Structure 1
Amino acid sequence: MKKLLLLLSIILISISSFSQKINESFQFNIKKTDTKIKIDGVLDDEAWSKTDIAKDFWMMTPMDTSQSLTPTEVRLTYDDNFLYISAICHEKIKNKGFVVESLKRDFNFGNNDNFWFILEPFNDLTNGFVFGVNAAGAQFDGIISEGTNLNANWDNKWFSETKYLGDRWIFEAAIPFKTLRYKAGVTKWGMNFSRLDLKSGEKSTWARIPRQYFSITLAYTGTMNWETPPPTPKSNISIIPYALGGTSKNFQDGSATSIRRDVGLDAKIAVSSALNLDLTVNPDFSQVDVDKQVTNLSRFELFFPERRQFFLENADLFNNFGLSSIRPFFSRRIGLGVPINYGARLSGKINNNLRIGVMNIQTGTSDLDNRPGQNFSALVLQQKVFSRSNISMMLLNKQSLNYDEIINKGYNQYNRNFGFEYNLASASNLWTGKAMYLKSYSPNTKGDDFVSAFNVYHNGLNFFGSIQYEYVGSNYNPEIGYVPRVGYHKIAMPLQYNFYPKQKESIVQYHAPAFTSNTYWNTEKVLTDFQRQYYYLVTMKDRSSLTAYYETNYIKLPRPFDPTNKGSDDKLAVGSEHRFSSFNLNYLSTPRKRYTFGFTGSYGSYFGDGKLLSISSDFGYRFQPYVSLSANINYVDISDVKIPVKDQADKIVKSNFWLVSPKIDITFTNKLFWTTFIQYNEQVQNVNINSRVQWRYKPASDIFLVYTDNYIPGSLNIKNRAIVLKFTYWWNL
């Protein structure tokens, strides 16, 4: 296996490219201003009349061979404190209003008329920032990693306003240099602009990007030339204290109402303009959005992304190490059921080619499960090689403090992981891939405690294909990670070929046959699982889509399994073999209309010679831009599953359950939001109500009021209830 990984690394290196920047010809000269700019969405300030103009955008979809038919004009300037940007977004279809979901921050790109500003300060074509708005003025910000991966949970301090004028809408913003991370003295930054106009169905960018990629793809940025080097803030320290009060009560165990009176502190300290130190003391994450529940019929744990701000800056260094189902580090394991006492994260660029991530976090103890206090440490180094690729190394340590084998039974004294990986990203993004090796260290565990894996992707205009191999040892143990399955070999191979209609009047964007294959063997190389899916998908120019596919499965169970996944004692036996298949249909309506609809349906055979019917529908209606109503309704019916019983007739198991999730978003302004989310989940026997009011009274400073209830379905007897009022303030020193 090591020889195979070495060979793969050589192959990946050989197809890396040293070629110059693809969009080097797209140049913008940014000049410094000495006059004041008022951020009001009215471009009457003298400074805007003296800037260069970025225009003549290129269409990205529905075609990528001509210039945009929906004109956009962008201006940039700066002073000692801010980078300023303005955009005039002309409408091809005039006086018909805009298309937006709401005024809520970090909106869905594909469901809103919007403008995005993409910044790539390090010229590595890999890491960057996004700032943007929808046509109603809702803000969006995020960080880009690995060239195309967007993390929209990142949130920072900047200012913007928009004006809608019927035949055009105007965006104006000021981004503090303290918000950005960049190398001091550098006078060339990567840059692009992205515009989506849903009424005309056109997506466009300033620097040209092939349509198979995302508009944030950093391999295709143009260049922003600074008249003088962007200023380095003399002091860049942000102190973010919070104060919280609340009550909670567990009605099931009859305990008394508990009162919360907490204070805590986060701090962001710029060690340099490219290196940031995050500190936290007694953090609280009660304001984080509730996770959207889903019906889980798989045999494995589901993945939910990190939303807590402390973990988000340069999060890719830690969380993107590994593969989607082999993550040695998963920050949501930290602070799960216990408080975080304090923590520190140092992350960013040492120089143009070397990034570093260092983290140390201390959690408290828990008397409920005799959990000891635990310390979590991580070190990641990432060295850029070739045009856009990198080599990374990671060290992880989870250490139990004041550990006692008897008292703390069920917890290890320590768990450590070491890993390295090579990430391929060719200059044009046509080829991407990864080769990796991981090893864990735990008490009383030796042998078969490692992971080796690789993948290679071809991201062509017509042909997309990849191959991925994984080996995860039976004793591999990442206690800070997300690895839902161990003890297997796997080969995965998705293939897709896109056909693009040549007729301009066609309503079809593209259509494609596709095939995916996932095959698993155990460590003795005995076949245990396979899944095959045969697709046909059609995407329309109005962004609606239809997908039909046939799926076939084989599973040899390595452990007992409840086919309803409801915690029942009726389980299929270890070693039992199951073959089943299904027909599936997915439809998603156009986001142009105020009423939106999505449908997913599946019907076929199931475990134990049973039958499975699954229907899921998503409904939405918006009174734009202030109110957005949505609901997901999921129904699952499992029938005629045969559970063998020794010396008796087979037991027939059947079950059906609903998951109903209505949601109401009311956005009074782009600074005052009220979201209420109800989740009725029969599979896990829970009804959850979460209602959250957020007032952003100053940039990055908020007041939250969060109310949560959990009930038992049917009787609606209350399980627990909590209400929290939280105040945060972002203070720049």
Structure 2
Amino acid sequence: MWKSSLLVLILFGTTHFLQAQKINSSYQLHIQKASSEIIIDGVLDEQAWKDAEVATDFFMITPMDTSFARVKTDVRMTYDEETLYLIVVNHHAVEGPYMVESLRRDFSFGKNDNFLLFMDPFDDQTNGFSFGANAAGAQWDGIMYNGGSVDLSWDNKWRSKVTNYEDKWIFEAAIPFKSIRYKKGITEWGINFSRLDLKTTEKSGWAPVPRQFPSASLAYTGSLIWDEAPPQTGANISVIPYALGGFRTDVAGSGETEYRREVGLDAKIGLTSSLNLDLTVNPDFSQVEVDRQVTNLDRFELFFPERRQFFLENGDLFASFGYETIRPFFSRRIGLNAPIQFGARLSGKINKNWRVGAMNMQTGEVKEDALPAQNFTVVSVQRQVGARSNITGMFINKQSLNYNPDPDSENPIYSQFNRNAGIEYNLASSNNLWTGKAMFMKSFGPETIDNGFVHAANLKYSSGNLTWNWEHQYVSKNYTAEVGYVPRNGFYKINPEVSYLFFPKSDKILNHGPKAGIRYFFNIDGEKTDNTTFLAYNVKWRSQSTFQAWVATDFVKLQRPFDPTNYSGDTLARGTEHQWYAVGAEFTSKPQSVFTYAFTSRFGGYYADGKRYNVTADIGYRFQPYVSIAMSANYNDIHLPEPWNRTNFWLVGPRVDVTMTNTLFFTAFVQYNEQIENINLNTRFQWRFKPASDLFLVYTDNYLPAPFYTKNRSLVLKFTYWWNI
């Protein structure tokens, strides 16, 4: 099956799209070297801007994609030997104040008046960078991958300023060439500009993008035409040292206080204009925001995204291989239970068609947990084929050092090694209507029992109205990915889905339509173990409010004992069968209001002929742009026969964000999780005193709810400085 799936996708991609031309090639913005010095002040008064060509006459993307934008936007770009410059005049179409959440970096796109730049400096319609700002001056930056996805965890060094006027707001930015990667010698980059104006609920782009795709879609960029090849950056070395001090007290345990005094170093070395070497020694990630807790009623391990900066640039070369629940490599497996001593990562473009990613990380020994020192190696090589498709090969090795488990033990605590090797084909048509992938991966271990394999493939079609997707997966019983995220083994999965949208001629409703899907799981013997069938109906208003109602039926045949509350310790027996029906609804209010809210609900059956009722609610109020207050709540009420009877859980999370300026932030976040009997308090102060250089103060407490007492607490003060050599 896997060979035929891979062959079909490769043939489909290469025969239909090998000679495809760039869709918006006629949209060109010519850029020339600056004729005067540029000061980043949000004022369009330099001679260089008067001499620059203007990109204007944007096209509407939503609510409709058949006309010019109602809101006028003018963009100019220029450069000098070290910096790329951008200035944008965002005219108002409707009187009144702008709408933003806060001054926090990497804001939520749909909740802010904003302008974004999407650029493809490799001109491959697949990889690139995004920069922008909201109307209050909060910055946005991210690395682009898969032809239109943006990873906002990426952070780099650049400057910007927003100035507000009665009839417009002006965004001006300076992006050092050293902060981005680009192909040497080419004089044409893919580029597009996106504007979201919440007062008119209009999203627009300079080069037109069909409304079913994000404005970030690199398949629809225009062209930035340089008067000469962008300048070479020369020596491109950045050193980012850190120093921290702090303590952690185990109040509920030994009562001892552990003091921390640490230093470490990151370095970024630009080997070429498109290939980067990252080095790290004794890294620390204490400033990274804590994970959002969830009520866990799942039978399998939950997924929490990577937030650590070192793993993020060109992260798609490592983390995007596979599917949502089949990730051969998951960087959070490295360094969360053991200290990272040092590491290196090489990533970027070798030439027009080839990308490479290679990572090696070394962790230390943890004697109290009998955890040996371990070395992690990941190598990913990607070759572009056709217009926007690619083939990627990946190798992953986890090696325990100076560790020899008992050969007579049936279940050693840690394996001596685990390796994975495989290949993946990613399809993306030139017009983005067809996307998909097919993958095959095999695992290797010290015993033959670890030598399993996995195969998965999907094909998706997205037009303006119709979207359908076919997906199937197979994971063998013995497949092992110790550095991956593969929560279940030994199954076949089949998952077709289809949806259709109507676009009525209405002043209120933007679109509406049904969505249906079926998901089947079978064990290795072909026996059905899981089935979910659902039917939903979606409505989206022109105000950007959304509503969905759904009905579903579920069937589960347990493959191992399971506690349906994940709390009591009592379990349902392996092999028992469970079937139920459920209904639910979801609503999200329009983002233009300073008061926003959303809710979801689920009512219906559950395991063992029980009932489960679930309601979640999110409310927020902002005193824009400085203070944002939010509250999220999740309530589950579960009714089961003995020995469980009735079980209910609250998960409540109030949050306060204070953004005094776009470089000075304070966040206080509380999470009360009744299921795990914990209250978590996390406060985080950040001062960005220079671009990409920060001072953090992080305080964390964990409490037992009843009787109320402190479990542990910690305080960390961390200083980082980005130094260009």
TM-score (norm 2): 0.98
d(CA) in 2 for partners of 1:102 and 1:539? 25
Q: What do the CA deviations read for 1:8-38 (whole angstroms, capped 9, x no partner)?
A: 3354334434211000010010010142100
Q: What do the CA deviations read for 1:390-427 (whole angstroms, capped 9, x no partner)?
A: 00000000000010315994000000000101100000
Quote the offset at 1:516 in angstroms.
Answer: 1.6
Contact 1:453 1:471 (8 Å CA) reproduced = yes
Q: Report the equivalent of 2:125.
A: 125
Q: 1:501 aligns with which of 497, 500, 504?
A: 504
d(CA) in 2 for partners of 1:692 and 1:12? 50
d(CA) in 1 for partners of 2:451 and 2:331? 25
Quote the offset at 1:448 in angstroms.
Answer: 6.5
Q: What do the CA deviations read for 1:425-453 (whole angstroms, capped 9, x no partner)?
A: 00000000001100001122347600011
Letter in 2 for 1:361: M
Q: 1:705 aligns with which of 683, 694, 697?
A: 697
Quote the offset at 1:254 in angstroms.
Answer: 1.5
d(CA) in 1 for partners of 2:6 and 2:450? 21
d(CA) in 2 for partners of 1:35 and 1:299? 63
Q: Report the equivalent of 2:418.
A: 415
d(CA) in 1 for partners of 2:240 and 2:643? 59
Letter in 1 for 2:402: N
Q: Report the equivalent of 1:397.
A: 397
Letter in 2 for 1:510: N
Q: Report the equivalent of 2:329.
A: 329
Quote the offset at 1:362 in angstroms.
Answer: 0.0
**1:275 is aligned to 2:275:** yes
Q: 2:462 aligns with which of 450, 459, 468?
A: 459
**1:680 is aligned to 2:672:** yes
d(CA) in 2 for partners of 1:92 and 1:296? 46
**1:715 is aligned to 2:707:** yes
Q: Report the equivalent of 2:144.
A: 144
Contact 2:294 2:651 (8 Å CA) reproduced = yes
Quote the offset at 1:369 in angstroms.
Answer: 1.3
Letter in 2 for 1:424: L
Distance 1:111 1:6, change over 3 A: closer
Quote the offset at 1:298 in angstroms.
Answer: 1.2
Alignment of 1:170-569 (within 5 A): 170-406=170-406, 409-446=412-449, 449-503=452-506, 506-566=507-567, 568-569=568-569
Q: Report the equivalent of 1:646.
A: none
Contact 2:450 2:480 (8 Å CA) reproduced = no
Q: What do the CA deviations read for 1:182-203 (whole angstroms, capped 9, x no partner)?
A: 1111100000000000010000
Q: Report the equivalent of 1:658.
A: 650
Q: Report the equivalent of 1:645.
A: none
Give secondary structure in 1 for the equivalent of 2:357. Answer: strand
d(CA) in 2 for partners of 1:616 and 1:527? 32
Quote the offset at 1:608 in angstroms.
Answer: 0.6
Give secondary structure in 2 for the equivalent of 1:225. Answer: strand
**1:629 is aligned to 2:629:** yes
Contact 1:34 1:79 (8 Å CA) reproduced = no
Letter in 2 for 1:245: G
Contact 1:448 1:474 (8 Å CA) reproduced = no
d(CA) in 2 for partners of 1:500 and 1:727? 52
Contact 1:620 1:630 (8 Å CA) reproduced = yes
Q: Report the equivalent of 1:691.
A: 683
**1:107 is aligned to 2:107:** yes
Give secondary structure in 2 for the equivalent of 1:212. Answer: coil
Q: Report the equivalent of 2:61.
A: 60
Letter in 2 for 1:671: T
Give secondary structure in 2 for the equivalent of 1:88. Answer: strand
Contact 1:115 1:132 (8 Å CA) reproduced = yes
Q: What do the CA deviations read for 1:230-287 (whole angstroms, capped 9, x no partner)?
A: 1111111000000000000111221410100000000000000000000000000001
Unaligned runs of 5+ in 1: 643-649
Contact 2:346 2:359 (8 Å CA) reproduced = yes
Quote the offset at 1:626 in angstroms.
Answer: 0.1
d(CA) in 2 for partners of 1:308 and 1:413? 27
Give secondary structure in 2 for the equivalent of 1:192. Answer: strand
Q: Report the equivalent of 1:581.
A: 581
Distance 1:16 1:243, change over 3 A: same
Distance 1:669 1:467, change over 3 A: same
Quote the offset at 1:226 in angstroms.
Answer: 0.4
Give secondary structure in 1 for the equivalent of 2:313. Answer: coil
d(CA) in 2 for partners of 1:527 and 1:445? 27
Quote the offset at 1:307 in angstroms.
Answer: 1.0
Q: What do the CA deviations read for 1:642-672 (whole angstroms, capped 9, x no partner)?
A: 3xxxxxxx53532001000000000000000
Letter in 1 for 2:646: K
d(CA) in 2 for partners of 1:511 and 1:159? 41
Contact 2:443 2:451 (8 Å CA) reproduced = no
Q: What do the CA deviations read for 1:563-616 (whole angstroms, capped 9, x no partner)?
A: 0112x2211000000001111010000010000000001110100111101000
Q: Report the equivalent of 2:659.
A: 667
Letter in 1 for 2:332: R
Q: Report the equivalent of 1:75.
A: 76
Contact 1:249 1:257 (8 Å CA) reproduced = yes
Alignment of 1:587-602 (within 5 A): 587-602=587-602
d(CA) in 2 for partners of 1:491 and 1:217? 28
TM-score (norm 1): 0.97
d(CA) in 2 for partners of 1:18 and 1:663? 51
Give secondary structure in 1 for the equivalent of 2:645. Answer: strand
Give secondary structure in 2 for the equivalent of 1:403. Answer: coil
Letter in 1 for 2:719: F
d(CA) in 1 for partners of 2:563 and 2:544? 39
Letter in 2 for 1:666: V
Q: Report the equivalent of 1:36.
A: 37
Q: What do the CA deviations read for 1:486-507 (whole angstroms, capped 9, x no partner)?
A: 100000111100000134xx21
Contact 2:2 2:456 (8 Å CA) reproduced = no
Contact 1:498 1:510 (8 Å CA) reproduced = yes
Quote the offset at 1:695 in angstroms.
Answer: 0.1
d(CA) in 1 for partners of 2:338 and 2:208? 49
Quote the offset at 1:551 in angstroms.
Answer: 1.3
- Greater shift, 480-489 or 250-259, is seen at 250-259
Quote the offset at 1:696 in angstroms.
Answer: 0.1
Q: What do the CA deviations read for 1:340-382 (whole angstroms, capped 9, x no partner)?
A: 0000000000101000001000001112210000000011000
d(CA) in 2 for partners of 1:212 and 1:342? 44
Q: Report the equivalent of 2:51.
A: 50
Q: Report the equivalent of 1:727.
A: 719
Give secondary structure in 2 for the equivalent of 1:284. Answer: coil
- Greater shift, 611-620 or 16-25, is seen at 16-25
**1:85 is aligned to 2:86:** yes
How many aligned residue pairs are there?
721
d(CA) in 2 for partners of 1:451 and 1:84? 47
Contact 2:539 2:546 (8 Å CA) reproduced = yes
d(CA) in 1 for partners of 2:489 and 2:100? 44
Contact 1:118 1:130 (8 Å CA) reproduced = yes
d(CA) in 2 for partners of 1:10 and 1:222? 27
d(CA) in 1 for partners of 2:295 and 2:605? 18
Give secondary structure in 1 for the equivalent of 2:448. Answer: coil
Give secondary structure in 1 for the equivalent of 2:328. Answer: coil
d(CA) in 1 for partners of 2:552 and 2:631? 27
Give secondary structure in 1 for the equivalent of 2:717. Answer: strand
Quote the offset at 1:303 in angstroms.
Answer: 1.2
